[in-house]
Chain A
């Protein structure tokens, strides 16, 4: 009896979850489908679902107009670069605050988070002037540093809450055994912290990849990432849905695929200390 109820409940839950999941995913699916249509089919009334002549024409038009791979490389360099740099600075910081908390630790943490409150548009001019002064306009390093700083508070916070979950007793036991600070970090802490670091890294790559204000305003050609690529595909004259879809698909595909493969990692650490 109990079993029957459970199965019935499972069917209902499954159906509901799948319907909602597909509904949430639908805009992405529709974009990908449209990218394989001709412009006329893209606005056909009634809409066509799968029964159209699949074409790669939009992709070749987009590739011909703009060199996709250069934008892609820039996106990868900037996202990965800012993440690595951010982790290098954030890990020691979060570690020290989590394991050697002082009176001020919480205030420091909150202050760090509050630096994210500066609206980007408000400081555009100062940043542009500084970039010009340092002759760093349109360089990878500028974007890496700016995006790192944008996301640093979030990284530190995420790592901090993750490190806090590591039981201090273990560290003390290691210390008793005469482990140095270095070996403490390498042999005890690192293995336990790795999942948290991995998911922090993934989240930061996603945030850096999708950042669209600084990447657009601080680059021209050499360092322009995919956000600049997409900025040339909205609302020109005439029909453009299929080409817009192709460009959109190209812009989101790499990060979407990365996200899907690593979603378990991402989910494990994405708690911000929310679970106790």
Chain B
């Protein structure tokens, strides 16, 4: 009896020791973007290498954010790895809600991660999330339409040049609109674009004492310019256009220019989906000569919530999914144009990848964004197209709804700005910033 018991105990102890290296099942929450779905398809490679199984929870972006935020703020502990963005990482990292990724293996080569990405995903120099892919924004334009208009797109255009080009390309009778921009309300939709755009006009969300700045001249100029562009040269119903809608319009040849995420480049140049695949040119996002350009910086990154029981296995997965080898694996299976872009320096040094037409412009755009000094005047927050404070997503979406309503013609630009100023003021007072 005692013998059996001892044997049993021994076996348990053994298996406990073995458990460190034993196979685990990781639960990973992720967004349903093309790159992530591709990763799910390649999970077998990870399981074959490490023995760990993976359970995917794939959700649409809004649902995902709702789920993981609730989980992290109630310490629900449901996920071993979460897919989060450049907005959440610094906030959660500073709260010690994420496991620091400071002991990744040497072959992972953490210094290879693009400096802008690494900076945006770190708190005080400690990396809290590893970028799966990164993006900035840039101008995509129709070379054939520009040629027909007798114009040439500079590599680094100004907003006035963009406006002139939009005017020249617009041909409403044939459903060609000079410029397509985001109008759908949301902090990650129209506000991502407008905030980045406002930086190039010298506007900012807050001054150094956290006073909202929507009553400033710079914001008025930004919004007026945007509304003027869209009302004269934009497509109908633009107030409901987000990334997807504009992508469809551009692919159908209905947009002369489109200023949006760099990852869109691989979609608009893909001849299977795009009717204008071989007539697309790229340029840096516009500026007004004040210094900053109107481009953003974003990354979808993998992070481990503090309290996870499977930190080691989770780190193994993160190393696998954001490694150079994973990029090669995708290139082998799907071609170089489909690898997750914007995360690693070595990718842009790869001669194979340099052949991809939009590679250089993507890298230049990413490098020209600076999350710590996004605009002309100094700001108290970090982030290019957002301010990395917990309240931002909430009130920026409400501001986005006001601006979207202005685009839909339901109110004037001045009314929208005044309402934005009031509601952000209200939120900031309530949040105790002042």
Closest residue of chain A to B63, judged by CB? Answer: A231
**Interface footprint category on A:** 20 to 34
* A238/B58 contact (C-beta < 8 A), A128-B74, A132-B76, A231-B63 known: no
A residues within 8 A CB of B243?
237
Q: Is the interface of A mostly helix, strand, loop or mixed?
A: loop
Q: Is there a chain B Cβ closer than 8 Å to A119's Cβ?
A: no
B172 at the interface (CB under 8 A from A): no
Question: Which residues of A sit under 8 angstroms from B78, Cβ to Cβ?
Answer: 137-138, 220
**Cα–Cα distance between A273 and B27 once the two chains are bound (Å):** 48
Distance in angstroms between the alpha carbons of A217 and B67 in the assembled complex:
7
B389 within 8 A of partner (CB)? no
B34 touching A236 by the CB < 8 A rule? yes
Is B205 interfacial (CB 8 A cutoff)?
A: no
Which of A220, A236, A237 has the most chain B CB atoms inside 10 A of its CB? A237
Instruction: Specify the chain B residue showing the minimal Cβ separation from A216.
Output: B63
Choose from B34, B60, B74, B273 the contact partner of A234 (Cβ within 8 Å).
Answer: B60
- A124: B residues at CB distance < 8 A: 70
Contact of A232 among B55, B58, B66, B267 (CB under 8 A): B58
Asked whether A239 is an interface residue with its Cβ less than 8 Å from the other chain, the reply is: yes
Question: What is the minimal beta-carbon distance from A146 to any residue of chain B, in angstroms?
Answer: 15
Kindly state the separation between the CA atoms of A237 and B74 in the bound complex, as whole angstroms. 31
Contact check, A231 vs B60: say whether CB atoms are below 8 A apart: yes
Given contacts A124-B70, A232-B32, contact A220 B59 (CB under 8 A): no
Q: Is A120 an interface position by the 8 A CB rule?
A: no
Residue contact A221 to B55, C-beta cutoff 8 Å? yes
Cross-chain contact B67 with A236 (CB below 8 angstroms): no
Q: Confirm or deny: A190 has a beta carbon within 8 angstroms of a beta carbon on chain B.
A: no
Interface check B360, CB cutoff 8 A: no
Asked if B355 lies at the interface with its beta carbon under 8 angstroms from chain A, I say no
Question: Is A224 positioned at the interface, with any CB of B under 8 Å from its CB?
Answer: yes
Task: Tell me if A220 and B70 are in contact (CB < 8 A).
Answer: no
Interface residues of B in 55-110 (CB under 8 A from A): 55-61, 63, 66-67, 70, 74-79
Kindly state whether residue A233 has any CB partner on chain B within 8 Å. yes
How long is the Cα–Cα vector from A226 to B247 in the complex, in angstroms? 29
In the complex, what distance in Å separates the CA atom of A14 from the CA atom of B78? Answer: 55
Q: Which residue on chain A has the smallest CB distance to residue B25? A: A221
| Contact, CB under 8 Å: A65 / B70 | no
Tell whether, in the assembled complex, residue B67 and residue A221 are in contact, meaning their CB atoms are under 8 Å apart: no
Give A61 Cβ to nearest chain B Cβ, in Å: 10
Contacts of A65 in B (CB 8 A): 37, 40, 58
**Shortest distance between the CB of A243 and any CB in chain B (Å):** 11
Is A66's beta carbon under 8 Å from chain B?
Answer: yes
Contacts of A233 in B (CB 8 A): 32, 60
User: Are A220 and B32 CB-contacts (below 8 A) given A132-B74, A137-B76, A231-B63?
Assistant: no
For residue A114, CB closer than 8 A to chain B, the reply is no
B244 at the interface (CB under 8 A from A): yes
Tell whether, in the assembled complex, residue A239 and residue B60 are in contact, meaning their CB atoms are under 8 Å apart. no
Which residue in A125, A132, A221 is a CB contact (below 8 Å) of B57? A221
Given contacts A236-B37, A237-B34, contact A220 B273 (CB under 8 A): no
Distance between A244 CB and nearest chain B CB, rounded to angstroms: 11
B358 → chain A closest CB, angstroms: 16
Q: Which residues of chain A in 40-87 are interfacial with respect to chain B, using CB atoms and an 8 Å cutoff?
A: 64-66
B19 to chain A minimum Cβ distance, whole angstroms, is 20
Report the Cα distance A124→B78, complex, angstroms.
Answer: 16
Looking at the complex, which one of B33, B55, B57, B70 makes contact with A237 (CB distance below 8 Å)? B33
Q: How far is the CA of A103 from the CA of B77 in the complex (A)?
A: 48
**Whole-angstrom distance from the CB of B125 to the nearest CB of chain A?**
33
Q: Which of B58, B61, B243, B267 has the most CB of A within 10 A?
A: B58
Chain A residue contacts of B77, Cβ below 8 A: 132, 137
User: Given known contacts A234-B60, A235-B244, is B76 in contact with A216 (CB within 8 Å)?
Assistant: no
In the bound complex, residues from chain B placing their C-beta under 8 Å from that of A132 are 74-77
> Is there an interface contact between B57 and A216, defined as CB atoms closer than 8 Å?
no
Would you call A23 an interface residue if the criterion is a C-beta within 8 Å of the partner chain's C-beta atoms? no
Q: Does A258 contact B (CB under 8 A)?
A: no
Tell me the bound Cα distance from A232 to B76 in angstroms: 21
Question: Does A129 lie at the interface of the complex (its beta carbon under 8 Å from any beta carbon of B)?
Answer: yes
Whether A238 pairs with B273 at a CB distance below 8 angstroms is: yes
> In residues 234-262 of chain A, which contact B (Cβ within 8 Å)?
234-239
> Bound state CA distance, A234 and B27, in angstroms?
21
B70→A217 contact, CB < 8 A: yes
Per a CB cutoff under 8 Å, which of B58, B61, B244 touches A66? B58
Note all chain A residues with C-beta closer than 8 A to B244: 235, 237-238
- Contacts of B247 on A, CB cut-off 8 Å? 237-238
Query: Min CB distance, A99 to chain B, in Å?
Result: 44
CA distance A228 to B244 in the complex (A): 22
CA distance A137 to B27 in the complex (A): 14
Question: Smallest CB–CB gap between B85 and chain A, Å?
Answer: 16
How far in angstroms is the closest Cβ of chain A from B309? 13
Complex Cα spacing A238 to B56, Å: 21
A239 touches B273 (CB 8 A): yes
* Complex A-B, nearest 3 residue pairs according to Cβ-Cβ distance, in ascending order: A232-B58, A220-B78, A221-B55
Additional A-B contacts beyond A64-B41, A128-B70 (4; CB < 8 A): A137-B78, A216-B63, A220-B79, A235-B60
- Could you name 7 residue pairs across A and B whose Cβ atoms are closer than 8 Å? A66-B58, A132-B74, A221-B57, A231-B60, A235-B244, A236-B33, A237-B34
Query: Which residues of chain B have a CB within 8 Å of any CB of chain A?
Result: 27, 32-34, 37, 40-41, 55-61, 63, 66-67, 70, 74-79, 243-244, 247, 267, 273
* A residues in contact (CB < 8 Å) with B: 64-66, 124-125, 128-129, 132, 137-138, 216-217, 220-221, 224, 228, 231-239
